[in-house]
C-alpha cells in the first residue's frame, strides 16, 4: 500500500505540463535514435546528457527526458530490423529473424504494430516489476557496509562482460582502464594530487561525460568513416509499411509468446551481466523450442517470433533499472549511461536514494509508465514518420551527431581542451572496438572508480587496515562467490553462447554489414 501511495505521488510529479512535454519529446527523440542504425540507446542518451544539463533542467525533469529517450530507443530499435533486416540497436537483432520475412511478405505494417504492442507489454510489465522488486532490493542493500559495497562493485565489473564474452581478460583490462582514469585528479580522501602531472586541466579529474560521449558517439562516427557508409539505410520502396492497424486476432495468438518473452527478459535484465541482448535472444530461443519444435515456421515470418524477442528486449530494459536504482550498480551499457545522468545531477543512486529523494525515484518510475503509453500511441499510428527517418543518408546524419556531441561538451565545460580530450577518447574507442575490447567496462570504471575506492578505504579504516574485512561477513562472501562465478563461467561457456547467438543470426542470409 505504501508503494502505491508513493507511486501516486510520483504521478503527481510526472504529470505536470512541463514534465509531460519532456516525456513526449524524449519518447519521440528516443524512437528516432533507436530507429537509426548506428545510434543506439546508449549513444542517444549520452549525447543528450550534456544538453539536458546545460539547459538547466532540474533533476526530475532531466531524468524524465532521458529515461523517455531510453525507453523510446528500445522501442525504435525494431523498426529498421523489420523493414531493412538491419538491427537499429543490438537487442533488436533477434527481431530481424521473423520481422524481416514478414515485411517481405507485405506484412510490414502488421509486424510493426505487433512488435509495438509486444514492446509495450514487455516494458509495462517490467516497470511493474521494478515497482515491486526495487524496494525489496533496497531493504537488502541497507544491510551493506563499505566492505560489501566494495565487493558489490567488483561483482558489477566481473559480470559485465556477460555470459557471451569470449575474452574475460579484455573485459578486466577495460574495467581497470576505466578505474585508472577515474583516479586522475585530487584524491577525495586526502586531497593529494594523483596522475595530474601538474597539468591544471587535470586537477578536477576527467569529466565522465567527456569520456562517455567520446567513447560511444564519436567512435561510432569513426566507424562510419572507416567503412565509408554514407548512404541511406533504406529506400522509399523498403520503407513502405502498408496496413498499419494491428490485427487483433494475431495479437491474441501472440499473448502467450509475449508473456514468456516478458518473464525471461525481465530476469535477464535484473541479473548482472545479462542485459537486453541476452533477454531477447533467450526469449526467441525459448519461444522457438516451445511452439515450433521442428523449426518449420520460425525464421519465415512467424508473428510469434517477432512478439517474443521484442517483449523480452523491452522487459529487460525495464528490469535493468532495478539494480541501477536500488544498488547504484548498472548491469549494462545503457544503464551505465543512465547512472551517469544521475551522477551528473549530483544524485547518488542506491538505497539512500529511495529514502532521501522519494520524489525523484517515484517521479521517474511514474514517468516510465507514462512514457510507455506515449510510445504505444506514437508507435502504432505514427510509425510512418519514423520509417521515413531511415531515408536520411548517414553522410548527413553522422556529421550532425558529431557536431551535437561537440556542442554538448563545449556548452558544459566551455573549454576546448576538454573537447580535444573527447576526440582523443573517440579515437581510443575506435581502436579498442577494433581490438574487440568492450567499452562498457571502461565507462563503468570511470563512473564507479571513486566510489569503489572510497568504500575500500572506509572498510579499511573501520577494520584498522585488516584486508580480511573484505571477506568478513556472510553477505560479502556470497557476493565474492557471485563475482567469481560470473567471471569464470563465461570462460567455459562464452564461446559456445556467442557461437549460438551468431548461428541464430546467420541462419538466414544476413544482409546487414
Partner 1 sequence: MSDRIFGGFGLLLAVFYIWAASTIKDSFMVDVVGPRAFPYIVGTILGLCSLYFIIRPDDEPDWPHMREFAEIFFAAAVMFAYCVALPEFGFLISTVFATAYLTWRLGTLPLWSLLTGVLTSAGIYIVFHLILGLHLAEGPLGF
What residues line the site for partner 1 (CB under 8 A)?
51, 54-55, 166-167, 169-170, 172-173, 175-177, 179-180, 183, 187, 189-195, 197, 218, 221-222, 224-231, 394-396, 398-400, 402-404, 406-407, 410-411, 414, 416, 419-420, 423, 426-427, 430, 434-436, 452-453, 456-457, 460-461, 464-465
Q: Is 357 exposed, middle or buried (0-12, 13-18, 19+ CB in 10 A)?
A: middle
H/E element, 185 = strand 185-186
CB of 458 to partner 1, least distance (A): 9
Q: b/e per residue, 195-214, with b = 16+ CB within 10 A?
A: ebeeeeebeebbbbbbbbbb
Nearer Cβ to partner 1, position 45 or 366?
45
Location of C-alpha cell 551493506: 144
32, 54, 51, 52: which is closest to 41 by C-alpha?
A: 32
Q: Which is nearer to partner 1, 57 or 125 (CB)?
A: 57
- Least distance between partner 1 and beta carbon 396 (Å): 6
Question: Please, what is the end-to-end C-alpha distance for the chain in angstroms?
Answer: 51
Could you count the other beta carbons within 10 Å of the beta carbon of residue 377? 14
Q: Shortest approach of partner 1 to residue 350 CB, angstroms?
A: 20
Contact by Cβ (8 Å): 82, 115: yes
Q: Is 353 or 444 the residue whose CB approaches partner 1 more closely? A: 444
| Nearest-approach distance from CB 148 to partner 1, in angstroms | 17
In the complex with partner 1, the residue whose CB is nearer, 116 or 486, is 486
Cα separation, 314 vs 211, in Å, equals 27
- Report the 10 Å Cβ neighbour count for 158: 26
C-beta of 2 vs 464, nearer to partner 1: 464
Cα–Cα dist 319/293, whole Å? 29
State the nearest-atom distance from the C-beta of 176 to partner 1, in Å.
4
Q: Which is nearer to partner 1, 170 or 388 (CB)?
A: 170
Q: Which is nearer to partner 1, 207 or 287 (CB)?
A: 207
β-partners of residue 194 are: 185
DSSP state of 106: T
CB distance 146 to 451 below 8 Å: no
- Least distance from C-beta 426 to partner 1, angstroms? 8
Nearer Cβ to partner 1, position 267 or 410? 410
CB of 225 or CB of 377, closer to partner 1: 225
Question: In whole angstroms, how far apart are CA 270 and each of 279, 319, 351, 509?
Answer: 10, 5, 16, 33
d(CA 88, CA 139): 37
Strand partners, 193: 186
- Residue closer to partner 1 (CB basis): 377 or 404: 404
Q: How far is the CB of 44 from partner 1 (least distance, A)?
A: 16
Minimum distance between the CB of residue 63 and partner 1, rounded to whole angstroms? 18
Q: Cα separation of 476 and 483, whole Å?
A: 10
- Identify whether the C-beta of residue 275 lies closer than 8 Å to the C-beta of residue 312: no
* Measured distance CA(65)–CA(367) in Å, rounded: 9
Q: How far is the CB of 69 from partner 1 (least distance, A)?
A: 16
For the CB of residue 343, give the shortest distance to partner 1 in the complex, in Å. Answer: 19
Helices 59-84, 2-14: axis angle to 10 degrees equals 90
Amino acid at each position: 500500500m505504501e508503494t502505491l501511495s508513493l507511486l501516486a505521488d510520483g504521478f503527481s510529479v510526472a504529470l505536470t505540463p512541463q514534465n509531460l512535454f519532456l516525456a513526449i519529446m524524449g519518447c519521440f527523440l528516443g524512437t528516432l535514435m533507436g530507429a537509426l542504425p548506428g545510434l543506439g540507446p546508449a549513444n542517444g542518451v549520452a549525447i543528450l546528457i550534456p544538453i539536458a544539463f546545460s539547459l538547466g533542467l532540474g533533476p526530475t525533469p532531466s531524468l524524465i527526458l532521458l529515461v523517455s529517450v531510453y525507453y523510446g530507443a528500445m522501442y525504435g530499435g525494431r523498426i529498421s530490423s523489420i523493414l531493412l533486416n538491419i538491427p537499429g540497436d543490438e537487442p533488436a537483432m533477434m527481431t530481424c529473424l521473423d520481422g524481416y520475412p514478414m515485411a517481405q511478405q507485405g506484412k510490414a505494417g502488421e509486424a510493426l504494430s505487433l512488435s509495438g504492442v509486444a514492446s509495450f507489454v514487455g516494458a509495462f510489465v517490467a516497470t511493474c516489476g521494478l515497482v515491486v522488486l526495487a524496494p525489496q532490493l533496497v531493504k537488502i542493500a541497507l544491510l551493506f557496509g563499505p566492505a560489501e559495497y566494495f565487493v558489490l562493485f567488483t561483482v558489477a565489473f566481473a559480470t559485465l562482460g556477460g555470459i557471451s564474452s569470449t575474452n574475460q581478460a579484455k573485459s578486466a583490462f577495460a574495467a581497470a582502464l576505466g578505474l585508472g582514469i577515474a583516479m586522475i585528479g585530487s584524491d577525495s580522501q586526502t586531497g593529494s594530487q594523483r596522475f595530474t602531472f601538474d597539468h591544471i586541466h587535470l586537477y578536477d579529474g576527467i569529466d565522465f561525460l567527456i569520456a562517455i560521449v567520446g567513447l560511444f558517439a564519436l567512435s561510432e562516427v569513426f566507424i562510419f568513416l572507416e567503412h565509408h557508409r554514407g548512404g541511406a539505410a533504406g529506400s522509399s520502396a523498403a520503407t513502405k509499411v502498408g496496413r498499419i492497424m494491428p490485427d487483433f486476432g494475431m495479437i491474441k495468438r501472440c499473448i502467450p509468446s509475449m508473456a514468456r518473452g516478458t518473464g525471461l527478459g525481465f530476469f535477464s535484465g535484473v541479473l548482472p551481466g545479462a542485459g537486453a541482448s541476452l533477454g531477447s535472444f533467450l526469449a526467441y530461443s525459448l519461444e522457438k523450442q516451445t511452439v515450433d519444435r521442428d523449426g518449420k515456421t520460425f525464421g519465415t515470418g512467424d508473428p510469434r517470433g517477432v512478439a517474443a524477442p521484442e517483449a523480452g528486449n523491452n522487459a529487460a530494459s525495464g528490469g535493468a533499472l532495478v539494480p541501477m536504482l536500488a544498488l547504484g550498480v548498472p548491469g549494462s551499457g545503457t544503464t551505465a549511461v543512465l547512472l551517469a545522468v544521475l551522477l551528473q545531477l549530483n544524485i547518488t543512486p542506491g538505497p539512500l536514494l529511495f529514502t532521501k529523494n522519494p520524489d525523484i525515484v517515484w517521479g521517474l518510475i511514474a514517468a516510465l509508465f507514462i512514457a510507455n503509453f506515449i510510445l504505444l500511441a506514437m508507435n502504432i499510428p505514427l510509425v510512418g514518420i519514423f520509417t521515413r527517418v531511415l531515408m536520411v543518408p548517414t553522410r548527413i546524419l553522422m556529421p550532425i551527431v558529431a557536431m551535437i556531441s561537440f556542442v554538448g561538451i563545449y556548452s558544459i565545460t566551455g573549454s576546448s581542451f576538454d573537447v580535444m580530450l573527447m576526440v582523443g577518447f573517440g579515437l581510443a574507442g575506435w581502436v579498442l572496438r577494433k581490438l574487440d575490447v568492450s567499452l562498457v567496462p571502461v565507462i563503468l570504471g570511470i563512473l564507479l572508480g571513486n566510489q569503489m575506492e572510497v568504500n575500500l578505504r572506509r572498510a579499511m579504516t573501520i577494520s584498522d587496515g585488516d584486508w580480511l574485512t573484505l571477506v568478513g561477513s556472510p553477505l560479502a562472501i556470497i557476493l565474492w562467490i557471485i563475482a567469481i562465478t560470473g567471471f569464470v563461467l563465461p570462460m567455459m561457456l562464452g564461446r559456445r553462447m556467442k557461437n549460438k547467438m551468431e548461428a541464430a543470426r546467420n541462419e538466414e542470409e544476413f544482409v546487414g554489414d
